[in-house]
Amino acid sequence: MDPNRKPLIAGNWKMHMTAREAADLAAAINKGLDPDLKHDVLLAPSFTGLHAVRAALSGSKIFLSSQDVAWEEKGAFTGAVAPSQLLDAGCSHAIIGHSERRKIFLETDEVINKKVKAALKAGLLPVLCIGETLEERESQKTYRVLETQLTGAYAGIPAADAAKCVIAYEPVWAIGTGKTATPEQAQDAHTFVRKQMERLYGRDFAAAVRILYGGSVKADNVDELMAQPDIDGALVGGESLKADKFLRVIHSACQHAGHGLARIARRSSALAPRAYDARSSEAVLLS
Ligand code: PEP
């Protein structure tokens, strides 16, 4: 990774755990974190676990995220959770456009764009997921898919808002399958994503945006992934469900994230999750 971008390791807990179990896991992760850790950590429990996890993380620097968000502010949308409700529950971030939402819940780029806009309007920081299926990769459509997903997700969003987003490149064929992209495959896709961001918002923007890799990340592969110049962190599913495993991922990822971060850490200090200045972390190089 580029030492000018602050690494982020995010845990997506999907539809697992009761609120109590989620709070216990969050507390164990928080307790086990290296106090000198320079990069950001984010946890995304189910909606029902948000309040309990927030309480368990009281005083911690770990960020809290939802796994989804509604695009409307309030009203007759049974089952949906509004951006303001997520802020109220303690979230600083919202994962948007995860491939499971795209595939199982049929979310389109248009829906994802509405969700990104709604999150930003409310003050939530989107973690935008993109990625190609195996079939798309095998038919040489990876770049086209990524370009379409990015163009769709960012439609009508000005640079100042877009700078608050983190992108997670997650090849669908690598999610929950145990098949990780090779560091070269991941780097190639990340380079392409960064070029697309340059096309959309310019060179300085592209140099500053954080792009995470997701797909069967583990302690024994995170370090070589993070060694790639355009990989700024990881979105982790299965391996984030056990404190010892996730802590090993977080701390293994440190190895390529040491130098240059003190400067960023100074500029983005006091990252208390609930008193959080988006620009201090997401757009530190644009300020
Ligand atoms: C994910 O849920 O976004 C993910 C990458 O899952 P896993 O790490 O289990 O592949």
Q: What are the pLDDT digits (tens) for 137-175?
A: 999 999 999 999 999 999 999 999 999 999 999 999 999
Per DSSP (E only), the strands in the chain are 8-12, 40-44, 63-66, 93-96, 125-130, 166-169, 211-214, 233-236
pLDDT for res 254: 64
How many Å apart are CA 105 and CA 216, to the nearest integer?
22
User: Given ligand 1 and candidates 235, 240, 242, 250, which is best to mutate, with the most ligand atoms within 8 Å of its CB?
Assistant: 235
CA atoms within 13 A on the CB side of 36: 6
Report the atom number in ligand 1 closest to the C-alpha of 236: 8
Report which protein residue has its CA nearest ligand 1's atom 7: 237
Q: Which residues line ligand 1 (CB under 6 A)?
A: 12, 170, 175-176, 214-217, 235-239
Q: What is the pLDDT of residue 12?
A: 98
DSSP letters, 161-215, are HHTT-EEEE--GGGTTTS-PPPHHHHHHHHHHHHHHHHHHH-HHHHHH--EEEES
- Ligand 1 centre to CA of 146 (Å) is 18
CATH number assigned to the domain covering 8-269: 3.20.20.70
Q: Is the pLDDT of residue 267 over 50?
A: no
Q: Whose CA is nearest to atom 1 of ligand 1?
A: 237
Atom of ligand 1 nearest to the CA of 214: 5
Buried b (16+ CB within 10 A) or exposed e, 138-174: eeeebbebbbebbebbbeebeeebbbbbbbbbbbbbb
Positions annotated as catalytic residues are 98, 170
Domain ranges within the chain, ordered by starting residue: 8-269
Q: How far is the CA of 129 from the centre of ligand 1 (A)?
A: 11
Task: Report, as an integer, the average pLDDT of 262-268.
Answer: 35
pLDDT of residue 1: 77
Instruction: Determine which residue's CA is closest to atom 4 belonging to ligand 1.
Output: 237
pLDDT band for 108, please (50, 70, 90 cuts): very high
Q: How far is the CA of 287 from the centre of ligand 1 (A)?
A: 32
For all residues of the chain together, what is the average pLDDT? 90
